[in-house]
A and B are shown apart, each in its own frame.
Chain A
Amino acid sequence: MTSMTLEAGTPRRSSGRRALLRGLPLGPAVILLAVFLGGPILYCIYAAFTDMALTGSSGIDFVGVENFAKAFTSPEFGRAVLYTLFFTVVSAIIGQNVLGMILALLMRSGSAPVRATVSAIVVGAWVLPEVVAGYLWLTFLGPDGSLNAILASIGVPTQNWLYTTPILAVAIANIWRGTAFSMLVYSAALSDVPTEIVEAAKVDGAGTWRTLFSITLPMIRRSIATNLMLITLQTLSVFGLIWAMTKGGPSSKSTTLPIFAYEQAFSFSQLGYGTAIALILLLIGGIFSLFYLRILRLEENTS
């Protein structure tokens, strides 16, 4: 506010009031976010330290870090963390990110009808509701599904992919569903790269790959960092797709943290424990975001 006063040259108090007045339209949004997003997060922090159960609200006791101790010593929880990291790294950071970039780059030099068809199909997969996408992949990977039919025709033995490789199956389904977002972000970013710079690099004798890695990608690094943050966080919280495909099974082999938290809270009625796990998931998301925001910030200071 001090800087505002100096700029406007008006007395401090009226400037403060003006700033308040100007910020007023933020009110409804801030209230909603505080009550329904901030509230649950605070409640999450509180409930994670209690033995709250789903049945019978009487007698909620403060149990300290017991829920967290229980989580960190439970092998199921450890496995859920590993599955979550696998799912996030394979389907978001590698799959959606790289495939999205490849599509965006290919789109730039493909011919118009191909481009239109491909983007309609890829975005179509993204627009489909997550439960429907889950069912599609359930049938595609099942024992009688198309994948097995294709593999059988080239002599590969058929199997139920949802039983043999459940976590990989849901990860690939998530790549299929989510790549469109990265593709749209990268297409928009690439269209902002001035063509003169790329042309100049080509004239100077840089090959296609050299131009890509030394010119194009560095120029859109901010979009890459922002996109990585958003898709990582989105993927950490995928629930409907996995629930529709495997329900976290078989024998918890595709149970990521959201599924684990849901089961503990609602199937086993341990609201406190489920909340503690949800809080850990929230923290993992927070750490990823801080990491990406940090990159963006470093960028800003050095450039």
Chain B
Amino acid sequence: MTTDVRVPAPSATLPAPAPRRGRGTAMVGKGAVNAALIVIAACYVIPLLWVVLAAFNATAGLSVSWPDPWTLENFSAVLDEETTFRPMRNGFILCGGATLLTMLCAVLAAYPLSRYRSRFRRPFLLTILFMTGLPITAIMVPVYGLFVQLNLIDTYTGTILFMSTTALPIAIWLSKNFMDSVPIEVEEAAWTDGASAMQALRTIVLPLMWPGLSVVALYTFIGLWGNFFVPFVLLQSNDQLPASVSIYTFFSQYAGVIYGQLAAYSMLYSLPAVLLYLVLSRRLSGAFTFGGSVKG
């Protein structure tokens, strides 16, 4: 009797008890899993508490305290041209311009990488993959030197070009993966009708991979929006700085004085990234399939 239970019996011989026991452990397991997830989420939320509470508290300090009363004073204090509007506008021009340029180059580059076989393809893809992680921070010092010599320092053109370049490897990589999932048969019909590759790309492939491309574009924009170091090094005039840098100068200037305003400003600056992420969230996970990524 006892030995019968211990020995893992083939499921066919013991059909009845197996599912019941399975469901019981699964329920306990599910409860434990949910509990573990909630604990992890709580650890994630605690650091966030300060910024939310302090933003609505006119007398906020560094400690977490319940706002009494809740007020929008901090927001109205930072919502002016100098502190918020101009840096945000600059950020949109810089990151928006860089995202457009990145997407244009990435889509063009993804097409041959996805559609044609060549012996250069694999080394090229590996190089791109390698570049996606290249420590951009490491080359900022020489980039600064290069930009001084090319007279590109403190210009939007130069900064946009460089920001696009930093975002390009991952954008090419993701675009290529999304393009791979568009079946080539659809295009072959267009080719036999005499359409060129670029016509096929524009009229057939792009409309089909629109959801994927929007993922890449939003991902690129969010990454650039949060990027601090590149504009910090390449831009100098105060009125050209985007929000990512101005929040830092704002904090260094008023450190220890107006934490509530800093928190309010942090929330305003994070808002575009968070909103865009909400648009993106349903489609995001598909972008991160690296499974067979460097094959072929």
Contact = CB atoms under 8 A, between A and B. Distances in A.
A14 interface: no
Contacts of B143: 36, 40
Interface residues of A, number: 109
Contacts of A24: 112
A249 interface: no
Nearest to A278: B138
Nearest to B290: A226
Contact of A129 (B11, B135, B225): B225
Contacts of B138: 44, 237, 257-258, 261, 278-279, 281-282, 285
A37 B134 contact: yes
B204 interface: no
A243 B252 CA distance: 11
A5 interface: no
B48 interface: yes
Contacts of A220: 291
Majority-rule SS of B interface residues:
helix
Given A129-B226, A227-B290, A136 B37 contact: no
A192 B222 CA distance: 27
B2 interface: no
B134 A189 contact: no
A106 B33 contact: yes
Given A130-B226, A149-B64, A114 B135 contact: no
A188 interface: yes
Interface of B: 8, 11, 26, 29-30, 33-34, 36-38, 40-41, 44-51, 54, 61-64, 104-106, 108-109, 111-113, 116-120, 124, 126, 129-146, 148, 161-162, 164-166, 168-169, 172, 197-198, 222, 225-229, 232-233, 244, 247-248, 251, 259, 262, 266, 269-270, 273-274, 277, 281, 284-295
20 contacts: A3-B119, A26-B109, A32-B161, A36-B143, A41-B142, A43-B146, A47-B141, A47-B145, A114-B34, A127-B226, A129-B226, A129-B273, A145-B62, A146-B50, A147-B46, A188-B290, A240-B244, A262-B141, A285-B135, A300-B295
